[in-house]
Structures are given as C-alpha cells and as structure tokens.
C-alpha cells in the first residue's frame, strides 16, 4: 500500500476566450518548465521471490486523489495483471467465454470445439464484443465466428461478416477471406462496397497490388458496379501503401469508363506528393483544371506537407500567397499544417503567429488545431500555457478528443509530471474518452523510468479494461525500459508472460535482457530466458 503521500497540487481551470488566448500566447514573460529528474530506487526482491504484498510499500510519489483511484483498481497480484482480458468485477457471458478463449489454440475448429460446451445464450452483441476483443488473433476470432454461426436461432449479420473479412485480411489469410466473401455472395445481399473496400485495402497493405486491382475489375460478379467511389477507394488504398504508380495505372484505365471527380485527382496529387514526385503532382493538378475542377485546399495542402517536412518555409509562404491569389482561402487545416511544422522546427513565435492570423481571417479553430497548439506549447516548455489552452477548449465549443488528452499526457510525461499525467488519464476516463496505445506509451515509459512498479501495473490493468492490447510492441517497450531502470526481475516476468501468450519476442529487447542478466551473473535466469526464446521461435529445447 502507498504509505506516504504528497500533498496534491491542483491546476486551476482558467477562464479564457480567444482574445485572452492571443494575449497569453504572445506574452514573452510566460514561464518555461525545465525537465526535472526525480530519483527513487525502491528495493525490489529478486524475480523468483517477488511478494506482491510487500514490494510497493514505499511507492509514495502520487497525490492522494490519484492514489485513491489507483488503490480502488488494485489487483490482488499485480504480476498477473496483463494475463487478465477483462476488468469486469461481475461474471458475464463474455467473461465466461473469454476464460475459455484465453488459451492457445492451433486452429479455429479447435476454438469452436472448446466453446461447444458453453451453455450460453448467443447474441450478435456478444459475438461482436468477442471478435473485437480477439481481433488481433484471427484463429480465436474466426473460431468464435464459426462457433456462433452454427448455433440455433442465430444468424450472422452482414456487419459481422464484413468484420470477419477484415480480420482475416489483416492476418493475411486471404484464401479464408475470399471463402467468406464467396459465402456472403451465396447468402445474397450480404456483399456491399464496404466489403470489397475492406478486401482491397487489406490486399494492398500486404503488397498484393495486382490482386487488389483484380478484385476491382471483377466486382460485377458480386452484384456491384464500378463507380467513382469504388475507384477512389481502390486508388486511396494503393497510395496509402506507397503504390501511386498502380493507382495512376488504374485511374488511366478507367477514367473514360467511370466519371471521375475532384476527389480522384486529389488522391493522385497526394500520392505523387507522398513519394516526392512534385512535377507529376503538378501535372495532375493541371489535368484537374482541364477537367473543370479547381484545385482546392486539399490539393495545395499536399504540397504544403512536403515543403513543411523539408522546413522550406519560403516555399510554404509563397504557396499560401498563390492559394489566396487563386481564390482558395486557407482554412483551419492549412493553418494547422503550417503551425505544426513551424513548432516542430522550433520556430515557436512564428507558429503562434499563425494562430493570430487564423483568428484575424475569421477561421474557427477545431480540435486538431488545438491539439497542434498544445503540442507546440508543450515542446517549448510552456506547460502552463498548454494547460490553459486545454481547459479553454470547451469554452470555445470544442470538445477535447483522445488525441488532445494523449498530447497533454505526453507533455506532462516529457517533464516528469507524473501526478498531472495520471490526473489527465483519470479526467479522460470521466469524459468517456477512450485511450489508445499512444495514450499509454509515454505513461509506461515514465513509470518504468521512475521505477513506480505499482502504478505501472495499474496502467497495464487500465489498458486491458479499455480493450487496448498489450502486444509485442508494448512488451518490448516494458522489457527495454525496465532493463534500463535496472528492474531486471520485472523485465524477466514480462518476457515470460509474453512468450506464454504465444508471442515471439523481438531480438533487441531479448538481447538487452540477456546482457543485463549476464552483467548481474544471474546464470539460471539467463538460461531460462534463453530457453523461453527458443520455445517462442519453435525450436525444441
């Protein structure tokens, strides 16, 4: 239990308006916060002798309000936190089924067989929740899908079929994906453009560009017809996976058969800009005008992104002038792109100047703009200003998004403001704003660094309760950071847990862990970790 508690320092909610913010942002006397280091090295017993009841007695750097929140969520055994799939305290059908599924299965058929003994009423909601929970594990998700499909008085909806198609495509199980599509076709009325868009995107992501294009060419047999929306979806999928050449090829092939629109041209402009072939992008813009479509804000923003990435602000400003000359008034997205780039280039005053220009042009800030503004202020060490902008957002009619909270949490973690970071996470929960892995990453890094093990395990539990998967990336982060903080026993524990879930550890965290164990002459632990690694790679020991 947390024994000693610091007095909480609550940050006030400032009353501001747009004009007040302008004064704040350009006040040169604003205090900057320097990065601080708080050293603490609570003694932790060896890996084999960890006693969860005694390890964290001196874990005392979190304020009383946050402490009570953490204490209320404490697990009986924090070392087993990541093994839990659900945070519900009451039993439910989903929990019951999850206990069965929380094992390793070699095939979907084996999963379905394991579920056959469940005396549980089935519903689409339950099936969808289970498929979402195990969407990262196609074997389990497909097993659930197969099992539910043969239950009496139950039929999968097109929505769940589409979800299954996407899961199988993501896992690159394309033969099974096409089997599901054929099954949907036989059912009649189940296939939509959403189905084919998912399939084409997954094929493109796997580098199967020809197959994605062939799927588009053959859509008539599924009762669909080629139109501009479908063409644009395919082009966008190809460009997203850095295959603008294939996108241009399909555009050239079908532009006389399908009536293309301004979106079609903008997709290609974006694609050529992404691969930095600006001359080709300009030709598409010229072609766009010949077809009667004027380049819009999106068209110009593609070029702005390239110039901003290169920090060539002279070209940025020239392009903004060109936009105005052609009657294309910059909007909030344009201002956000430029302001963010200036902030990253450490041109803070110039970046904030764009805030003033935007207000003068009667352009209303939106959530992404505020997110960027908070990011810039945080990186400049102006945490007080970032905090004030954050709390002013609702007063300006803008609701903070998950990205807003994540940005604020990241800023707090950058300056070791652990108490403030946890308060933001709590506030995020109260606002029913769902965190994702990007929200937790800076928190995990900070509390590994601080050796705040109880809080670290609390965060892992919080992730699970929010259906944020603790994946290979997360485990790698934990193992590496804990090794760096000399918490080798806990790093070993996470390595073991990772392997027990059927994941193959990456070489980098594995080598780091082995090096740390060798340095401490922990021979038995090193041999055990080596054995686990061989088992994970399928090498019989």
Task: Give tens-digit pLDDT for 325-373.
Answer: 988 988 899 999 999 999 999 999 898 888 888 888 888 889 999 999 9
| 353: nearest Cα among 313, 324, 296 | 313
Helix (H, G, I), strand (E, B) or coil at 153: coil
What's the half-sphere exposure (Cβ side, CA atoms, 13 Å) at 540? 0
Cβ neighbours for 444, distance < 8 A, ≥ 6 positions apart:
456, 459, 474, 477, 478, 481
Domain boundaries of the chain, sorted by first residue: 157-293
Q: Which regions in the chain score pLDDT beneath 70?
A: 1-95, 539-541
Cβ neighbours for 101, distance < 8 A, ≥ 6 positions apart:
111, 114, 115, 130, 134, 140, 143, 144
Cβ neighbours for 372, distance < 8 A, ≥ 6 positions apart:
336, 339, 340, 343
CB atoms < 10 A from the CB of 155, how many?
10
The sign of the dihedral angle between the CA atoms of 391, 365, 382, 21 is negative
- 3-state percent breakdown (helix, strand, coil) of the chain, nearest 5: 65, 0, 35
Structure tokens at 65: 């309000």
Q: pTM higher than 0.75, yes or no?
A: no
**CA atoms of 198 and 163, how far apart (whole Å):** 9
Per-residue confidence (pLDDT) for residue 386, from 0 to 100: 93
Per-residue confidence (pLDDT) for residue 92, from 0 to 100: 63
Residues, the chain = 541
Per-residue confidence (pLDDT) for residue 72, from 0 to 100: 62
| 85: nearest Cα among 76, 93, 94 | 94
Domain 157-293 class, CATH top level: mainly alpha
Per-residue confidence (pLDDT) for residue 16, from 0 to 100: 35
Per-residue confidence (pLDDT) for residue 242, from 0 to 100: 86
Cβ neighbours for 215, distance < 8 A, ≥ 6 positions apart:
196, 199, 200, 203
Per-residue confidence (pLDDT) for residue 5, from 0 to 100: 23
Which H helix or E strand runs over 90? none
Per-residue confidence (pLDDT) for residue 37, from 0 to 100: 36
Per-residue confidence (pLDDT) for residue 70, from 0 to 100: 66
């Amino acid at each position: 239990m947390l024994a000693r508690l610091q007095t909480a320092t609550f940050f006030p909610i400032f009353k501001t308006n747009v004009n007040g913010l302008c004064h704040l942002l350009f006040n040169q006397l604003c205090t900057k916060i320097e990065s601080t280091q708080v050293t603490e090295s609570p003694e932790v017993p060896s890996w084999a002798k960890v006693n969860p009841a005694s390890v964290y007695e001196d874990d005392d750097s979190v304020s009383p309000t946050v402490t009570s929140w953490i204490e209320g969520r404490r697990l009986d055994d924090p070392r087993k936190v990541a093994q839990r799939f659900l945070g519900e305290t009451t039993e439910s059908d989903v929990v019951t089924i999850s206990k069965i599924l929380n094992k390793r299965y070699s095939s979907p058929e084996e999963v379905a067989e394991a579920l056959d003994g469940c005396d549980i009423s089935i519903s689409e909601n339950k099936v969808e929740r289970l498929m979402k929970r195990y969407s990262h594990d196609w074997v389990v998700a497909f097993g659930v899908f197969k099992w539910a499909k043969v239950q009496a008085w139950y039929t999968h909806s097109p929505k769940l079929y589409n979800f299954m198609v996407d899961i199988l495509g993501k896992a690159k199980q394309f033969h099974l994906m096409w089997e599901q599509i054929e099954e949907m076709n036989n059912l009649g009325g189940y296939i939509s453009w959403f189905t084919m868009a998912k399939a084409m995107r997954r094929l493109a992501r796997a580098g199967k560009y020809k197959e994605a294009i062939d799927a588009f060419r053959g859509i008539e047999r599924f009762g669909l017809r080629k139109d501009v929306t479908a063409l644009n979806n395919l082009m966008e999928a190809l460009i997203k996976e850095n295959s603008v050449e294939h996108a241009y090829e399909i555009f050239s092939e079908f532009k006389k058969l399908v009536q293309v629109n301004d979106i079609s041209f903008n997709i290609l402009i974006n694609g050529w800009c992404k691969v930095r072939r600006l001359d080709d992008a300009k030709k598409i813009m010229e072609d766009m005008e010949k077809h009667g479509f004027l380049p819009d804000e999106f068209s110009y923003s593609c070029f702005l992104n390239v110039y901003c990435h290169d920090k060539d602000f002279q070209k940025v400003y020239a392009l903004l002038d060109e936009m105005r000359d052609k009657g294309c008034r910059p909007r909030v997205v344009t201002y956000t792109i430029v302001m963010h780039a200036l902030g990253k280039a450490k041109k803070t005053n110039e970046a904030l100047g764009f805030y003033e220009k935007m207000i003068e042009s009667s352009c209303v800030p939106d959530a992404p703009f505020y997110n960027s503004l908070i990011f810039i202020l945080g990186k400049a060490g102006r945490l007080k200003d970032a905090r004030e902008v954050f709390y002013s957002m609702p007063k300006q009619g803008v609701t903070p998004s998950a990205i807003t909270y994540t940005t604020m949490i990241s800023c707090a973690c950058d300056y070791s403001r652990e108490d403030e970071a946890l308060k933001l996470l709590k506030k995020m929960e109260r606002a029913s704003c769902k965190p994702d892995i990007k929200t937790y990453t800076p928190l995990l890094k900070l509390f590994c660094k601080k050796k705040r093990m109880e809080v670290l395990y609390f965060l892992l539990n919080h992730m699970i309760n929010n259906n944020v998967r603790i994946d290979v990336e997360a485990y790698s982060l934990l193992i590496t950071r804990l090794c760096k903080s000399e918490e080798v026993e806990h790093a070993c524990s996470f390595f073991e847990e990772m392997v027990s879930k059927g994941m193959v550890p990456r070489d980098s965290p594995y080598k780091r862990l082995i090096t740390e164990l060798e340095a401490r002459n922990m021979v038995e632990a090193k041999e055990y970790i080596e054995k686990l690694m061989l088992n994970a790679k399928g090498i019989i020991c």
